[in-house]
Amino acid sequence: MRTSTKIALLFAGIWFLGKYCFFYFQVLQTTEKYPIQVMWNILCLLLAMSVGSLIEKRKEIRSESSALGDIKSILGIGMIYTLVVGGLIYLYYSKIDPAYNENQIAVIQESMEKMVDNPEELKKFKAERPEFEAFSKEEILEKSAESIKPWYQASTVMTISLLGMLMLSVINALVLTAIYRRLLFRQPKQ
């Protein structure tokens, strides 16, 4: 197994350990502080890609390397991290903390109930969405609950996370290649 693959797996494990510690100690579990957990994932992805590629880059012969090869190797590290963390995200939200998604659905339904109970907001809501014009308050709440639930399933959260980490991996690979080629591993001009 390549060193960069081990580094990607190591940082995926570090991410999961941090995520589990946040859950176990109930730190950063509120909706307002949840973006800090997302930043934790982004930091671990960036560190996995940068440390793994730095170790690989130090082993290669600089005159034989190309920018496209660098992007490919850095992106490979990001993909390994992304796939492993995507699986761990599914595991986390389906088995370890399924209550988080249920809580998010409850919060949204509570805000919908407040909106439906306010006649001015209900009128504005019906004006913006003509399909709800003839619906009663209960029907609106029922339809909104049906449309919200698919977005807060473990598989949907995993899919969206995979897409986000994939895009971030591509951007990180391009930026890290530029940094490595322009600053760290600059080849002397002949």
CB 176 within 8 A of CB 50: yes
Per-residue pLDDT of the chain (190 residues; tens, 9 = 90+): 889 999 999 999 999 999 999 999 999 888 888 899 999 999 999 999 999 999 988 888 777 778 899 999 999 999 999 999 999 999 999 999 999 889 888 988 999 899 889 889 888 888 888 888 888 888 888 888 888 889 889 999 999 999 999 999 999 999 999 998 888 776 666 6
Other C-beta atoms within 10 Å of 52: how many?
A: 27
- Pairwise CA distance, residues 22 & 25, whole Å: 6
The pTM of the full predicted model, rounded to 2 decimals, is 0.86
